[in-house]
Structure 1
Amino acid sequence: MMSKIISFSILTLVVSIVLINYFSRVKANHPLAHLNVQEIIQEYGYLVEVHNVVTEDGYVLTLHRIPHGRDNLSRERKPILLLPGILQSAWDFVHRGPSYSIAFILSEKGYDVWLGNVRGTTWSRNHTTLDPDKDPVFWDYTIHEIGVYDLPAFIDYVLKKTQQKSIHYLGFSQGTIAFFMMGSEKSDYLSKIKFMAALSPAFYLKDPISPILKFLSKNWRSVQGLFNFFNYRELFGRGDLFSSVVKFICHDENSILINLCIHTHFSIFGYSYHELNKSRLPLTAANTPCGISLKQFMHGLQMWDSGDFRRYDYGTERNLEKYGQEQPPHYNVSRVTTPVAIYYSSNDWAVNIKNMDRVLETVPNVVRNYKVPLDDFNHLDFLYAEHVVDLLYKVVVDDLSKY
């Protein structure tokens, strides 16, 4: 039996290597697809700075900064930190250009824009002592560590560099989870945030509409066991089989595979034909997805399954060892007294609108409750929609200006 398992594992490894080699040869058919975050910001005519931030537990993270708009005026700038969703990076806030990307829009509105890249993603794949390619312990983190280590490190660094006492904050999806985790576990940081814009707040996730997310979350233990069997610690990293397949099916808008790309995208996040720009899919796929730890992915699936906002579930025995109780502790969202604006949509297949009542009841200082006025606006439309500026960003910018 053991020899069969070993033979199967070797065969799987060989097949994976062959497939990765094949898929990775395909290049995205878009003139800007070869650019990284720094280069694409410069391509659009903006000054960009790259800063390294070291967390309390030794992860070396990258902050991309757009200090001012293209006018280069010397007026005082208000610092704002943006944190993207799972499998995303600073790239997702800038690659659509000045007319559509929220980072550039805020820059032109007088903000000093800082773009966070959380641990394990393409631009933050480093550590003071651990090698992500050789040390499995590098990947031993959940979403919790992003909230209690990465986000506080970003905030402290921005405050020190700008010599301000507080900043604005905008989070999308996992970027909202991290904020509420930080607010629950390190509430002293809340005084450093003037205002929090929560795009698709993703901490109560019961009953995702997506059939893929529903299946994965209901079977997260089996999914975890499968990945553990093949010794996966990192998922969707640049160059691995999963991300290579994504890039392959999305690399060319004229490819016969582009419909597979579109329907895979929609089956996870919600169908939104009116807001999709097919020509930009190759550009998006060139740098997204950008890497995630297995435990981080499992933490998300656990929250979709339970519907509760709580720490990672290790199982009864290990929970008792780690937490002193059989079930993971819940995060106390009621501690988050920062002014918070909630932006959500009815066609979000990842964050079911049915959970919004619970969100609004739990967060104590909601100053804006805004439902995007378009029935088929999906989860990724918060960053990618063709009409996102008129439908959402004008409201967000107006709300930010009040604080």
Structure 2
Amino acid sequence: MMQRLVDNAIAVTKESVKTFTYESLNNIVRFINGVSALLLALLPGKANILEGIHGWELRPTFRGPRFPRWMENGVSSFNQLIHELSVDSDTDGSSLDYEEEYSDDDMSPSSPCSQSSRLSRSSSTPRKKTGWMWISYVFYWILLPARFLLGLPAILYRSGGTTAPGSNQLKHRSSSLNKVQFLKDHIVQRTTDRRRGVIEDLHLAIEIFIEAVFDVVHKAAHFVLHPFVALRTLFGLFSSNSNREDAYDDASEATVPTATLGDDDAAPTERNTSFQALNTDARTCQDVITELGYPYEAIHVVTSDGYVLLLERIPRRDSRKAVYLQHGILDSSMGWVSNGVVGSPAFAAYDQGYDVFLGNFRGLVSREHIDKSISSRQYWHYSINEHGTQDIPAMIEKIHQVKTAELKLSQPDIEEETNGDQPYKLCAVCHSLGGAAILMYVVTQRIEEKPHRLSRLVLLSPAGFHEDSSFMFSVVQYSFLLLAPLLQPLVPGIYIPTRFFRMLLNKLARDFHNYPAVGGLVQTLMSYFVGGDSSNWVGVLGIPHYNMNDMPGVSFQVALHLAQMKRAKRFRMFDYGKSGNIKFYGSPEPLDLGEYYGLIDIPVDLVAGRKDKVIRPSMVKKHYKVMKNLGVNVSYNEFEYAHLDFTFSHREELLAYVMSRCLLVEPPSKQSSPKGLKLKKKGQQVNS
């Protein structure tokens, strides 16, 4: 009777504390959202700035069709359904429908941890949750910031390992880990199967903390009312303490055989599995492509200066038409697939029969390089020159090698048909900085009398000319030029260096989506910074390539190079100073690429956005006028887009236009290069 009274009192108190804390937190969040709404109402010009973030564009999504659980391998099988039901019948029935509960509101597909949790749920039997498990789980959350900032190992929660038959210690360890895993699944995955924001994490942490505290209070009251049970429990804890420590030391992480589509060796490899308690979206471009049912291949390319680039592919190996997609600044190949099957240029090209290649510039915080010990200062020491004369040449040459070998293998008579020319046509579609880099590539290849392998260029808001820009960009330009000697040794690259702060940005992006006024305020401030551009900046922050594991960055010299172009009012290569320019270019001034536009021997299609305030239409028109005056086969078109709309928004008319341009590929004409001018790579002498 006394035990029941105490239990009821503790239960009522616990629910009261939960309600009070939840309402307090909700009131704080409402207050923040209200203040943001007030500030948003007071800011001038918000109507134009916020145009384009309403409706579905505020919540970009990459989710593919969600199959029933018995169809997740792509095959409908009634036997598999029966097997799933028989397995799930042994588990806790309260956790079966967590996916269906949140399917309506979930704007992004389930994170990888949700899939692994299903496996663990079906292979472990739920057991009664103990107070020690609750306490250790609370410690895990309390020490979570320290785990990221100080690199403390997550000793309490390693993923479960396989146990050897006959080993009591490992069996005990496996039993403990099953309890821990079930607790994680029940609390975290039952709560949500999608990426969580900071506020959602705070809600979850409060619930866990309250549950843990009252579970301890409940057990303490139980021990007071039943002292003999308390003594027996304490004796059992002390006697088994040494066995538990040994089991923790000897246990190893589980490994799962995996194979990546497109690898040369498709044999399964070993991958360590661990529970992603932070529940962030760390999917890659490969994950998005394969989730939607498209083939995928990863090709690692090494540049002549040692950078390792990832050239991704949606392969059509027997196709004689290919398209190369190159992203812009602070972006990656993810931008070309970010709108799913319907609105992504990469999928549209593949559906039109193209062999699709997705380029990635150097500039990730993972710092992929053949020199594994390369320092941050050395890695980030590059400008746009290296994008145009190192990255793109390496990737396009790799495309040429791959396509030539595959087509000769599948079509042995192809060499006779092409009379020695390359057996495929390659169209390049580039955005922003990618457009400037591809123009640099074509011009420098023609100067050096090397084949560029391209048949057509489609440039979406290309960089290069920047004198007509916003006041904020002018301030940034003069700041970079003035402070470059001081900042360059201290800040080699502009990026988020630690996993903790990348995780924080990833989670804040989710909060910006969940709370419209806060997201609108951030969107407005971002728009002010880029001169009023109405692109969906908040939506782009939530894309998976901005995650805790890796993130695009920008070299200080790339930013300085753009500032130099703006000051010079010309599209030039990097200015190393008078002595450096003589060494690299053979003249006191950097090579002016616009002067050599006449060497471009393939059609060029320029596309500008009327709402683009980052690279204004007047600057794209300048490319057009210079090319037209020098006899280039060039076209110009404008759309009602902002800067990021070319890649991150669903624009059906743009996809139709780009595809129509790519279908007009023409063979390169035979045009001689000017004699006596040789452009050398960085670090080599130039003779004119």
User: How would you bin the TM-score normalised by the shorter chain?
Assistant: 0.7 to 0.9
Q: Does 1:333 align with 2:597?
A: yes
Q: Counterpart in 2 of 1:76?
A: 319
Instruction: Write the distance in 1 (CA, Å) between the matches of 2:503 and 2:567.
Output: 28
Instruction: Write the distance in 2 (CA, Å) between the matches of 1:117 and 1:226.
Output: 30
**Aligned CA-pair RMSD:** 3.2
Indicate if the aligned counterparts of 2:473 and 2:530 stay in contact, CA closer than 8 A. Answer: no
Q: Counterpart in 1 of 2:368?
A: 126
Superimposed CA distance per residue, residues 283-340 of structure 1 (whole angstroms, 9 cap, x where no aligned partner) = 3673596112111221122223322111212334544554454432212222112111
Q: Does 1:218 align with 2:461?
A: no
Structure 1 residues 303 and 245: alpha-carbon distance in aligned structure 2, compared to 1, 3 A threshold: farther
Where 1:79 maps in the other structure, the secondary structure is strand
Superimposed CA distance per residue, residues 145-169 of structure 1 (whole angstroms, 9 cap, x where no aligned partner) = 1101111111110111111624111
Indicate if the aligned counterparts of 1:88 and 1:290 stay in contact, CA closer than 8 A. Answer: yes
Q: Does 1:178 align with 2:437?
A: yes
More strand by share: 1
The structural deviation recorded for 1:126 is 1.6
Structure 1 residues 223 and 348: alpha-carbon distance in aligned structure 2, compared to 1, 3 A threshold: farther
Q: Does 1:152 align with 2:413?
A: no
Indicate if the aligned counterparts of 1:195 and 1:338 stay in contact, CA closer than 8 A. Answer: yes
Question: Which is worse superposed, 29-38 or 146-155?
Answer: 29-38
Instruction: Write the distance in 2 (CA, Å) between the matches of 1:400 and 1:135.
Output: 39
Where 1:286 maps in the other structure, the secondary structure is coil
Structure 1 residues 320 and 354: alpha-carbon distance in aligned structure 2, compared to 1, 3 A threshold: same
Indicate if the aligned counterparts of 1:81 and 1:170 stay in contact, CA closer than 8 A. Answer: yes
The structural deviation recorded for 1:234 is 2.0
The structural deviation recorded for 1:368 is 2.6
Identity rate, percent: 25
Indicate if the aligned counterparts of 1:170 and 1:198 stay in contact, CA closer than 8 A. Answer: yes
Where 1:283 maps in the other structure, the secondary structure is coil
Instruction: Write the distance in 1 (CA, Å) between the matches of 2:331 and 2:586.
Output: 34
Where 2:589 maps in the other structure, the secondary structure is coil
Where 1:219 maps in the other structure, the secondary structure is helix
Q: Counterpart in 1 of 2:620?
A: 356
Q: Counterpart in 2 of 1:194?
A: 455
- 1:50 aligned partner, one-letter code: A
Instruction: Write the distance in 1 (CA, Å) between the matches of 2:303 and 2:537.
Output: 37
Q: 1:40 aligns with which of 264, 288, 292?
A: 288
Instruction: Write the distance in 2 (CA, Å) between the matches of 1:168 and 1:221.
Output: 36
Structure 1 residues 95 and 205: alpha-carbon distance in aligned structure 2, compared to 1, 3 A threshold: same
Structure 1 residues 334 and 65: alpha-carbon distance in aligned structure 2, compared to 1, 3 A threshold: same
Select the structure with the greater relative contact order (CA < 8 A; seq sep ≥ 6): 1
- 1:304 aligned partner, one-letter code: K
More helix by share: 2
Q: Which aligned pairs between 1:90-129 and structure 2 lie closer than 5 A? A: 90-121=333-364, 125-129=367-371
Q: Does 1:283 align with 2:550?
A: no
The structural deviation recorded for 1:139 is 1.9
Structure 1 residues 115 and 223: alpha-carbon distance in aligned structure 2, compared to 1, 3 A threshold: farther
Indicate if the aligned counterparts of 1:204 and 1:307 stay in contact, CA closer than 8 A. Answer: yes
Where 2:636 maps in the other structure, the secondary structure is strand
Q: Does 1:161 align with 2:402?
A: yes
Instruction: Write the distance in 2 (CA, Å) between the matches of 1:98 and 1:277.
Output: 22
Structure 1 residues 290 and 221: alpha-carbon distance in aligned structure 2, compared to 1, 3 A threshold: same
Instruction: Write the distance in 2 (CA, Å) between the matches of 1:240 and 1:204.
Output: 35
Structure 1 residues 76 and 355: alpha-carbon distance in aligned structure 2, compared to 1, 3 A threshold: closer
Indicate if the aligned counterparts of 2:624 and 2:635 stay in contact, CA closer than 8 A. Answer: no
- 2:616 aligned partner, one-letter code: N
Where 2:542 maps in the other structure, the secondary structure is helix
Indicate if the aligned counterparts of 2:301 and 2:394 stay in contact, CA closer than 8 A. Answer: yes
Q: 2:469 aligns with which of 186, 208, 218?
A: 208
Indicate if the aligned counterparts of 1:251 and 1:282 stay in contact, CA closer than 8 A. Answer: yes
Superimposed CA distance per residue, residues 340-394 of structure 1 (whole angstroms, 9 cap, x where no aligned partner) = 111112221121222233211222424431111x2xx2111111234x222x111
Q: Which aligned pairs between 1:255-270 and structure 2 lie closer than 5 A? A: 255=515, 257-269=518-530
Structure 1 residues 57 and 311: alpha-carbon distance in aligned structure 2, compared to 1, 3 A threshold: same
Instruction: Write the distance in 2 (CA, Å) between the matches of 1:320 and 1:129.
Output: 29
Q: 1:52 aligns with which of 300, 311, 331?
A: 300
Instruction: Write the distance in 2 (CA, Å) between the matches of 1:226 and 1:402.
Output: 49
TM-score normalised by structure 1 residue count? 0.80
Indicate if the aligned counterparts of 1:246 and 1:285 stay in contact, CA closer than 8 A. Answer: no
Q: Counterpart in 1 of 2:571?
A: 309
Where 1:343 maps in the other structure, the secondary structure is strand
Instruction: Write the distance in 2 (CA, Å) between the matches of 1:264 and 1:366.
Output: 40
Task: Kindly name which structure, 1 or 2, has the bigger radius of gyration based on alpha carbons.
Answer: 2
Structure 1 residues 313 and 400: alpha-carbon distance in aligned structure 2, compared to 1, 3 A threshold: same
Q: 1:347 aligns with which of 611, 615, 623?
A: 611
Where 1:395 maps in the other structure, the secondary structure is helix
Structure 1 residues 192 and 280: alpha-carbon distance in aligned structure 2, compared to 1, 3 A threshold: closer
The structural deviation recorded for 1:34 is 2.4
Structure 1 residues 192 and 367: alpha-carbon distance in aligned structure 2, compared to 1, 3 A threshold: same
- 2:652 aligned partner, one-letter code: V
Indicate if the aligned counterparts of 1:249 and 1:260 stay in contact, CA closer than 8 A. Answer: no
Instruction: Write the distance in 1 (CA, Å) between the matches of 2:498 and 2:440.
Output: 31
Where 1:308 maps in the other structure, the secondary structure is coil
Instruction: Write the distance in 2 (CA, Å) between the matches of 1:113 and 1:346.
Output: 28
Give the count of matched residue pairs.
367
Where 1:371 maps in the other structure, the secondary structure is strand
- 1:129 aligned partner, one-letter code: D
Instruction: Write the distance in 2 (CA, Å) between the matches of 1:110 and 1:311.
Output: 36
Question: Which is worse superposed, 81-90 or 326-335?
Answer: 326-335
Instruction: Write the distance in 2 (CA, Å) between the matches of 1:243 and 1:306.
Output: 35
Where 1:64 maps in the other structure, the secondary structure is strand
